[in-house]
Structure 1
């Protein structure tokens, strides 16, 4: 178990999680797909092990009879999923994408795999671009920078 830090896209909500497990989970249910914009990748921690700053930017929405989801009301980033009834009360599943370092995490469990479609497969031969290659695609041309022609 380790400690992890993270934040939403705009930085209004920051978090520090203690006793973080080395595995994360994926959920393909319809609610998670809509909330996360795709499969939800979450890392479960006890609420007592999660310190959140920027609480004024956190909005929680009750999304079922037994759970709620939180998002940043400034930038819209999904933050966590929290069970409110039943045996898993007391923890939050933090969105893996919020974390500053995920290099030591591995996939543990996939939920609702009967709802998983081919859209979530990574086919062989797909085009893959590095960070430098993506940045080059969006680099301004000399004319856009105001350079003389």
Structure 2
């Protein structure tokens, strides 16, 4: 069981399953949404329980994805692909989880769009897209 919340605590969540994947997304949208890159865990939708959904706002950043954030404190929380048949998972910002998570990043994605102000210096796989 994993637990987490937004900065102000208006939204809390629990994940009863395991992390299916973890990654750091360096795409332009994730960098603008978070202020850097988005480190997230993909979890089964069925394993996620959200408390305080009245404080959860969604921004449709494309025809394929919506991004969930706290309407009170602005915390970036959820990356939700809209094609639920293709994507049985939802992404949750790793920084919003309470410690310990017992996990590590698995890969970097969209590195072709990474910011020019930092380098990726670990040995994780790097995918252009």
| TM-score in terms of structure 1 length | 0.74
1:4 to 2, 5, 17: 2
Which of 87, 90, 99 pairs up with 2:88? 90
Indicate if the aligned counterparts of 1:23 and 1:105 stay in contact, CA closer than 8 A: no
Per residue, is there more helix in 1 or in 2?
1
Alpha carbons of structure 1 residues 102 and 39: separation in structure 2 relative to 1, 3 Å = farther
- CA root-mean-square deviation: 1.9
- SS of 2:95's partner is helix
Rg larger in structure: 1
Which ranges in structure 1 are unaligned for 5 or more consecutive residues? Answer: 124-149
How far does residue 72 in structure 1 lie from its aligned partner after superposition?
Answer: 0.1
Gaps of 5+ in 2: 122-129
Q: How many residues align?
A: 121
Say which of 30, 33, 37 aligns to 1:32. 30
